[in-house]
Amino acid sequence: MQTRVFSPDADGYDAAASALRDGGLVAFPTETVYGLGGDARNDMAVARIFEAKARPRFNPLIVHVNSISAAREFVEWPDQADILAQAFWPGPMTLVLPLKPGTGLSPLVTADLPTLAIRVPAHPVAQNLLATFGGPVAAPSANPSGRISPTTADHVLAGLNGKIAAVLDGGACEVGVESTILGLAGTPTLLRPGGLPVEAIEAALHDTLDTRGNCDPLTAPGQLASHYAPNAQVRLEATEKRTGEVLLGFGPVDADLNLSPAGDLTEATANLFRHLHSLDAMGAETIAVSPIPNHGLGRAINDRLRRAASPRS
């Protein structure tokens, strides 16, 4: 298969939507990372997502739609969902809610769970593609399973060229890490930190979120112990660079690449995956990473780094 690259214009949107209608896979930018999209109602298309990524079938997918009203067609909608959707959609937040019966979604999307992960992305290219396609798009990150997530079209092609129909090139992603996932099938629970700070969600709900335990069953994407991993090993909380290492810095440190010399967590989040791709390409045995504060967006950065540093299967 030859993977085509489409520009974000009328012809590009029409071609990408046509590929989706034919059961093909199209990578497209969101504000978080590039997603690998397939028609969420088409069993073969969804199966191709798992095949292209070599993704475990028990790992559910996020469905992307272009509006709150579209999301409500697929899931039960408690008051808390409405509060959060009005505050943060379109944006980098995914809600996991009870799946309505008779939605027509492929059961592969939910990994046969009774819940659905759903979000409304803010990126204009994603919005235009969803509007042109006119239906729900299942889209995990557009990279081989377990590897560094893509924030540019070139990252997508480096991992999936020849395995998918097309890439809609919308430039670099602004946020740079995946969406925050919140479970609302019961008590509001943080299932994965991401591009929306937990503090903002708690402020909107006037409540503290529960957190998922490490041994709890898999209920949403991004919960595997080893994930977001470069080819190099990753060493965390590094205060110096050892022989054979490259240093991914944060703050005023001498590093091969620095997430944010000024210690800005928003800048660091946007640079995380791009810098990991660049350092991995240097061929070092180990990427050492400076300590990152564990608040605000730092929680998402540290979550991705811990999973990248976990033992590989």
**Which residues on adjacent β-strands are paired with residue 63?**
118, 138
**CA dist., res. 282 & res. 42, Å (int):** 40
Pairing of strands 286-289, 233-235: parallel
**CA dist., res. 265 & res. 199, Å (int):** 14
**CA dist., res. 213 & res. 313, Å (int):** 21
Q: What is residue 215's predicted lDDT score, i.e. its pLDDT? A: 63
**CA dist., res. 54 & res. 110, Å (int):** 17
**CA dist., res. 267 & res. 246, Å (int):** 20
Residue range 113-149, pLDDT digits in tens = 999 999 999 999 999 999 999 999 999 999 999 899 9
Rg (CA), the chain: 19
Map tokens 């996991």 to a residue: 96
Query: H or E segment at 28?
Result: strand 26-29
- Of 168, 124, 191, whose CA–CA distance to 36 is shortest? 168
DSSP one-letter code for 156: H
DSSP one-letter code for 57: T
**Which residues on adjacent β-strands are paired with residue 294?**
none
Using CA atoms, how far residue 3 sits from 13, 25, 141, 146, 162, in Å, is 15, 10, 17, 21, 5
Q: What tokens appear for 263 in the block?
A: 């210690």
Q: What is residue 225's predicted lDDT score, i.e. its pLDDT? A: 59
Cβ burial of 257 (10 Å; 0-12, 13-18, 19+) is: middle
pLDDT tens sequence for the chain (313 residues): 899 999 999 999 999 999 999 999 999 999 999 999 999 999 999 999 999 999 988 899 999 999 999 999 999 999 999 999 999 999 999 999 999 999 999 999 999 899 999 999 999 999 999 999 999 999 999 999 989 999 999 999 999 999 999 999 999 999 999 999 999 988 999 999 999 999 999 999 999 999 977 666 667 776 665 667 889 999 999 999 999 899 999 999 999 999 999 999 999 999 999 999 999 998 888 999 999 999 999 999 999 999 899 886 5
Map tokens 């001498």 to a residue: 254
Cβ burial of 134 (10 Å; 0-12, 13-18, 19+) is: exposed
Q: How many CB atoms within 10 Å of residue 56?
A: 12
Q: What tokens appear for 258 in the block?
A: 């620095």
**Which residues on adjacent β-strands are paired with residue 220?**
none
Question: Could you write out the three-class secondary structure of 219-284?
Answer: CCCCCCCCCCECCCEEECCCCCCCCCEEEEECCCCCCCEECCCCCCHHHHHHHHHHHHHHHHHCCC
